Chain A
Amino acid sequence: GAGVSQTPSNKVTEKGKYVELRCDPISGHTALYWYRQSLGQGPEFLIYFQGTGAADDSGLPNDRFFAVRPEGSVSTLKIQRTERGDSAVYLCASSYVAAANTDTQYFGPGTRLTVL
């Protein structure tokens, strides 16, 4: 079946603009994760959804970042007043359940965000 998809694949924006990044998880997966990967770094956890609710948003860097998953499937990561430091690859992952020791997270291809 289809894997996790993310749109757009690339996004170039200007400092101060608002952007939305979309993630379509694998059908039937209840858990959804967002990570951010800066150049030369590993992915860094941002937020985790179980169903429609954000169960852990401790990784969001500040209140300019917000994510939703209104129907428990597609998720949107929203960034307000973008800054050059927000430039990174934003990765989405989904899994069937959220059990730490048995779960497998399936990653999407990422959205490369460039803030000029």
Chain B
Amino acid sequence: AQRVTQPEKLLSVFKGAPVELKCNYSYSGSPELFWYVQYSRQRLQLLLRHISRESIKGFTADLNKGETSFHLKKPFAQEEDSAMYYCALSRNTGFQKLVFGTGTRLLVSP
């Protein structure tokens, strides 16, 4: 079965501290992995995806196939990073049928 697990509902850090949002997945095959973000009063939007291997707003995510994880990291959190973060997967062929985790709320305090 396809499943995405985000074990933390809330992650609270101080500005300048490192951040790691955890994501583990279950999938038979090689999925494509994504992080989506929803800022307050805004719509859900793509933050980054594994295949692009890029850093967006200082965030990076490394796919660890052995641990089936795709944790999101940022070395120095900013207040504007406060948002709801969703990890998602899809198969890597055909259309993009996203399976989302339950989300982690990141709160960055000054």
A→B interface (CB under 8 Å): 3-4, 31, 33, 35, 40-45, 48, 50, 55-56, 91, 95, 98-110
* Contact status A45-B97, CB under 8 Å: yes
In the assembly, what is the distance between CA of A3 and CA of B4, in Å?
Answer: 27
Q: B51 at the A/B interface (Cβ < 8 Å)?
A: yes
Q: Mark B9-50, 1 if CB is under 8 A from A, else 0.
A: 000000000000000000000001000000000011110000
Q: B70 at the A/B interface (Cβ < 8 Å)?
A: no
In the assembly, what is the distance between CA of A50 and CA of B95, in Å?
Answer: 9
Contact of B98 among A105, A108, A109 (CB under 8 A): A105
Please give, as numbers and ranges, the residues of chain B lying within 8 Å of A3 by CB-CB distance: 43
* Contact status B94-A100, CB under 8 Å: yes
Question: Known: A42-B103, A45-B97, A48-B97. Contact between A104 and B46, CB under 8 A?
Answer: yes
